[in-house]
Amino acid sequence: AGNSSALTDGASACLIMREDKALALGFKPKAYLREFCYVARDPKEQLLLGPSYATHKILERAGLTKDDIDVWEFHEAFAGQILAVLNALQSESFCKNYMGRSEAFGEIPLEKLTTGRVSVPGHPFGATGVRLTTMAANRLIHEDGQFALLSACAAGGHAVGQILERYPS
């Protein structure tokens, strides 16, 4: 696709540990990983729409609403994919018929959606998840937010969702 991100090699490391252990080792945490989920959809019909399902599921599991989220970070495979996810979340028909909701999820405020899309930094295989998490954690710190929602589509109709909470200063 003409608007797809460049495929690049990547590598990443992310330390995930209990707060007391991090502090004992002299690390300053950026965020808590509050909740995560995985979803899978029919790859023939809904290959790249997994983030719409993961968004709804992760908010339910975390006991949060979309209004609680300060930073939204969706992995963008290509421009059309993120637009399809945003449209699916706003579609009453899609949310009722495919997600089992009584109404549309609604609009995500674009000013809360990370603007450094993957089309710009590329799609570093082996580093995408840590890149998304780091970008969201840094935005929570710099924008004085509390919660971030991250979601990414993956091969075969899969998707991941997670909630980060900014570590108190």
Tens-place pLDDT, residues 41-60: 888 888 889 999 999 999 99
Residue 115: the pLDDT is 57
Question: What is the C-alpha separation between 46 and 143, in angstroms, rounded?
Answer: 34
Q: Which amino acid is at 4?
A: S
Lowest mean pLDDT among 100-104, 109-113, 151-155, 158-162: 151-155
Residue 123: the pLDDT is 64
Question: What is the C-alpha separation between 45 and 68, in angstroms, rounded?
Answer: 31
Average pLDDT over residues 127-154: 92
Residue 116: the pLDDT is 47
What residues contact 151, with CB distance under 8 A and at least 6 apart? 50, 51, 54, 55, 58, 73, 74, 75, 159, 160, 161, 162
CA-based nearest residue to 52, from 61, 62, 63, 41:
41
Q: Whole-prediction pTM value?
A: 0.89
Helix intervals (H) in the chain: 19-24, 43-46, 50-62, 79-90, 92-97, 128-142
Query: pLDDT per residue over 10-50, tens digit each?
Result: 788 899 999 999 999 999 999 999 999 999 988 888 888 99
Question: What is the C-alpha separation between 31 and 73, in angstroms, rounded?
Answer: 15
